[in-house]
Amino acid sequence: MSESREPAARHARVKTYIIVVSLIWTALAGSSFLYNLRQHRKGIREMARSEARSSINKDLAYHRWASGHGGVYVTVTGKTPPNPYLSNIRERDIGTPSRRPLTLINPEYMTRQVHELSLAQYGFRGHITSLKPIRPGNAPDPWEAEALRAFEQGKTEVSSVETIEREPYLRLMLPFAAESHCLMCHAAQGYKEGDIRGGISVSVPLAPFQAASGGHMRSEIAGHCLLWLLGLAGIGAGGSRILKQIRERDRSEEALREAHQRLAFHIQRLPMGYVVWGDDFRVREWNPTAEKIFGWTAAEAVGKHSYDLIVPPKAQSPVDRAWAKLLDGEEMVQSVTANLRKGGKEITCEWFHVPLRGADGSVIGILSTVHDITEKARLEKQLQTAQRMETVGTLAGGIAHDFNNALTGILGFSQLLRLRMAGDPKAAGDLDEVMRCAERAATLTRQLLTFARRQVIEPVNLDLNAAVNDLMKLIGKVTGESIEKRAILAKGLPTVRADRAQLEQVLMNLVLNARDAMPGGGVLSVETEDVTFDESYIDRYPYVKAGRYAALVVSDTGIGMDEKTRERVFEPFFTTKAPDKGTGLGLAMVYGIVKQHDGFIHLYSEPGMGTTFKVYFPAVQAAPDAAAERREAPLRGGNETVLLAEDEETIRTLAERILKEYGYTVLTARNGEEAIEVFRRNKGISLAVLDVVMPRIGGKEAYEAMRAENPELKVIFTSGYSADAVHESFVIEPGLQFLPKPYTPTILARKVREALDA
């Protein structure tokens, strides 16, 4: 038996002794009570037997007296008619001088009369009987017959407790012998003087005796119960004292056992790995959590050196430094190191080390707790990457906004000047070059806005398979013949809500990157998949929402990427290509487009193993929209009044000149507040062209104030942030127009005409 169970065993033994003693005492008290109960019942029977014996003795005395006188004469009545069994006696019936008839009553007849009186008055049942009765009524019942036969064998008395009419009775029977005067009637039966010719039985009810002794019995019960309870109380008090002494004796053992149990709990159930190292840096203890973290069982780990078990070569120096700090006197050292699981898989672990000291204070070992933070480190790295991307996106969006305002002026005035210099080919050529440079700059700003997720999108319900099929011919032209193209499209692919043009940009950018990764040729695969993510997947990737997705997968067999490249591949202007081979905005655009569509993108790549991009778009419960044909109307002007609100003076001047040249009446304002004042002074305004972000009052607030007075007012919103600033402020209602910057005079004139004609 273990030491931890010794006190409990001792307590159990004492309790068992107490229970046994209590049971013995209960048995003794019960035996005493049963003995007294038996004696009480015996006393009741003795009293009843005494009564019965007295009754029979009286009957015998009366019988003997009557026999000695030859019987008794009584008045003839209905209860005492002449006895037919005495008809042989000549003087059975006589009369008195007054002529009152009398009849002779023999002793048996008299005894029967007395028994009838006793039954009526006392409940005693008397019966005179014989095995050879002259009168049928004197025949014995079975009990009496058995008693009479016993008398013939020499027994002088028979008694027992019997049930009569469901009540207990004490039955007693005594014999009587034939006397000389009895032979007058019974000599003919063969009896001689002294023969046992019958007996008298009496049945005495026990109920009156039991009732009379009930109080005594209750006292007996109460006394025994009190005695039993006092005995139990004494046994309990003695047992309690003994147990208290045992508890006091075991107090130190219990404290030691509890301390051991707490230590065992920490070792065996601690949610962190628990490892004890000897001074030779070999494992001494290894708990179940350590088994789960590293894959080695305690039996496999104990005795092994850490370098041979879980510490890879690159982590040995940090481990040595941690040990050195503990040996130098530090009481706790925390470290994050690379470790190895059984099988060679590398994981990241956080360790907490404290020294184990001997009696002299020297370090005799190390106690370490450890937990696996591989997933935590991965998620932290993802979060840092996402935060860095958001920061870069905010910066890129702000830069693009300012550039778009400047490019609007450059493109606008260049186009106006181009129209005036139509007769000067050299000047016109120079202006064309200026406009081409501005267009390239505008393209860059659009790419930055796309990365920052501030680009306008026109989402439709789209069949991803159809979009991929439409682009496969173009993909074949841009990749060349040295690359094998494969398209694997899933059946039953769900519909996605996406901007078709931007979806095509995603696919083309991924294809071009794959092409550049395979300069010597290879295999390019474009696949679609129907994917559903459950809660278990979300636990691994918290940024993913549960549900059904349509996936676009682009894979190549090219040079692949290392970890550092994978971490930065979506950053704007980051590229591994030569300066003349790319701007570093292609994958940044892909990232922005996917995020703006509420999707996400995963990258899988290893150096020399190729690259796979998996892009996931949320599925929608709708059929794909039919492709709409767009036809541009001929450019024309008008004579309506247009309110132009723009805080940038250059853009305001440019837009005013353009609109006036197309025949419109233009009213200008520098901010939303001025725009409202101008609107209230001029009731004939047909269209308001409002910059979204302006000082004092922005375009949104100004439009709402003007629309409250004229619900039919038409509007065009403009912004260097594209549509995103508008979306952040309010939902664009059907019929409202948006004009992103930079724009050319032609685009502005066409947009104004479309808005007025809508």
What is the DSSP track for 253-264?
Answer: HHHHHHHHHHHH
**Strand pairing report for 685-691 and 641-645:** parallel
Paired tokens of 383: 């979060």
* Rounded-to-integer distance, Cα 452 and Cα 720, Å: 13
* Rounded-to-integer distance, Cα 526 and Cα 467, Å: 12
List, for the chain, all residue ranges whose pLDDT scores fall below the cut of 50: 1, 451-454, 722-732, 734
Q: Where are the domains of the chain?
A: 3-71+106-212, 270-372, 460-620, 641-757
Contacts made by residues 207-210, CB under 8 angstroms, sequence distance 24+? 207/167, 207/168, 208/123, 209/44, 209/47, 209/48, 210/44
Per-residue confidence (pLDDT) for residue 437, from 0 to 100 = 74
- CA of 109: how far to CAs of 78, 112, 223, in Å? 14, 5, 51
**Strand pairing report for 101-105 and 93-95:** antiparallel
Nearest alpha-carbon partner for 247 in 18, 8, 1: 8
Per-residue confidence (pLDDT) for residue 184, from 0 to 100 = 60
* Burial of residue 242 (number of CB atoms within 10 Å: 0-12, 13-18, 19+): middle
Please spell the DSSP secondary structure of 668-712, one letter per residue. EESSHHHHHHHHHH-TTEEEEEEESS-SSS-HHHHHHHHHHH-TT
Per-residue confidence (pLDDT) for residue 457, from 0 to 100 = 57
* Rounded-to-integer distance, Cα 171 and Cα 51, Å: 11
Look at residue 379 and give its three-state secondary structure: helix
Domain 270-372 has CATH 3.30.450.20: yes
Contact yes or no for 209/47 (Cβ under 8 A) = yes
What is the C-alpha end-to-end distance of the chain, expressed in Å?
95
Radius of gyration of the chain (CA): 61
Look up residue 67 and give its amino acid.
S
**Any residues with CB less than 8 A from the CB of 221 and at least 6 apart, and which?**
33
The CATH superfamily of 641-757 is: Response regulator (3.40.50.2300)
Nearest alpha-carbon partner for 130 in 144, 113, 114: 144
Per-residue confidence (pLDDT) for residue 723, from 0 to 100 = 42
Cα–chain center distance at 110: 95
The CATH superfamily of 3-71+106-212 is: PAS domain (3.30.450.20)
Same fold across 3-71+106-212 and 460-620? no
Angle, to 10 degrees, between the axis of helix 464-479 and the axis of helix 500-516?
40
**Strand pairing report for 363-372 and 495-498:** unpaired
**Any residues with CB less than 8 A from the CB of 326 and at least 6 apart, and which?**
333, 353, 354, 355, 363, 366
Contact yes or no for 157/174 (Cβ under 8 A) = yes
Domain 460-620 has CATH 3.40.50.970: no
